[in-house]
Structure 1
Amino acid sequence: MHYYTYPILSRLMPQFFDGSCHTKEDFDLLYTSEGDATWSDAIASNRLFPESTVFADPLRAVMGEAACSTDALSAEIGLPIDKLYYCAGSQGFMYPLTGFVSAHTSFVQAATLLAERVVFKLHRLGRISDTDSHHVCGTHIDWLMKKSRYRYQMLYPIHQPICAPFGRSTLTWNKNNRRLHDMSKIGDVAVFLIWRKKNCCVF
């Protein structure tokens, strides 16, 4: 799993992103799972993110599934619920913050969940600075990802025709794509373009 920063809009159209709207980020490799021992080790991940153990409890897991159903429905008709930060909508749970997907229904669903999960993990690590209505003239570390500010779009192995908010079911755009039926031809590689809303002020 690799995560690159790619501020394409502010680089291609700087005249529209002056002042606080212009990002200081450049094209860079922000995260690689090969250098993260917690991505493949659930015990190490639980030590780094102790809240993971809360969602590992069977009773709380059942309660969490009920809450995540609400999040999934909200993402289907509009935007996900930011307060349900531990939910990934129709994709499943954000926790554990590892590369293991227990509820694997399809390659596209699992790949989408991992893409959303790594963004959430980078927020928990303080690696992503964000803006909001209270910080329009500067960025701040947002330890809990606001899912409603993100959109995802698969670029490979198929091109997703529309952007979708985090948590929206992949069935809405991948009902009849035959290219993914034979995984031996494409391996297990997926590429996503992640869009994020940014608030800024103009002086």
Structure 2
Amino acid sequence: MLYLSELDPTWNNDELAFFTNPEAAWLANPVALAACLADAASATAGTPIDALFWCAGSWGNLYPFAGRGPTLGSRARETSLSAARSLAALHRRGLARRTMGEDALCESPIAPFLPKSQYKLSMFYPLPETQRAHVIGESPLRWGEWRNIPAVGEDHLYLLWRWNDCCATF
């Protein structure tokens, strides 16, 4: 899935991103953010909670769908959150669809919220994640805190894995 953030006017403008996703107003409260603790624990165990669509597990909050995010923590966490936000923005606009589940066997229905369990990520650069992939929101302490190379490998590249249920008729 190719996403060019340079062509997206909402990616570098927080206000525009806020107005294109009005649900961000009611998700920006302490109760909604506290619910993300359950998603963080579940994602670190390998199964993110799809019902908590505003959470990105231990990476933070998915809203707003903009390129600016919290800069506290590791580069692996920051870049993974950016990847998840761009994927959530594509789902919100109908450009990415749900490809897993019984109703997605022969067609892929529009999913306005990110189905986190449908995707996994693997770091491709600077140090490839060769043995496994991680789910959206999984703690970088398990897969990537050591994958940043200062001054040389600060631009991270991820390989996106998507679950596809297909209908093969014979």
TM-score computed with the length of structure 2 as normaliser: 0.91
2-structure distance, mates of 1:40, 1:53 = 19
**Amino acid paired to 2:95:** R
- From 101, 110, 134, the equivalent of 1:164 is 134
Max Rg structure? 1
- From 42, 45, 53, the equivalent of 2:17 is 45
- From 67, 71, 76, the equivalent of 2:39 is 71
1-structure distance, mates of 2:84, 2:121 = 8
**Amino acid paired to 1:90:** S
1:192 maps onto 2:158 in alignment? yes
Count of residue correspondences: 167
Runs (5+) with no aligned partner, structure 2? none
Structure holding more helix per residue:
1
The CA RMSD measured in Å over matched residues stands at 1.5
Return closer, same or farther for 1:103/1:73 CA change in 2, 3 Å cut-off: farther
1:157-188 C-alpha deviation (Å, 9 max, x unpaired): 1112320111101110234x2x6252x223x4
> What is the identity percentage for the equivalent residue pairs of Structure 1 and Structure 2?
34
Runs (5+) with no aligned partner, structure 1? 6-28
2-structure distance, mates of 1:185, 1:163 = 23
1-structure distance, mates of 2:144, 2:7 = 32
Structure holding more strand per residue:
1
**Amino acid paired to 1:195:** W
**Amino acid paired to 2:135:** P
**1:154 corresponds to which residue?**
123
**2:57 corresponds to which residue?**
89
2-structure distance, mates of 1:180, 1:190 = 8
2-structure distance, mates of 1:67, 1:170 = 20
1:133-170 C-alpha deviation (Å, 9 max, x unpaired): 12311121111111011100000011123201111011
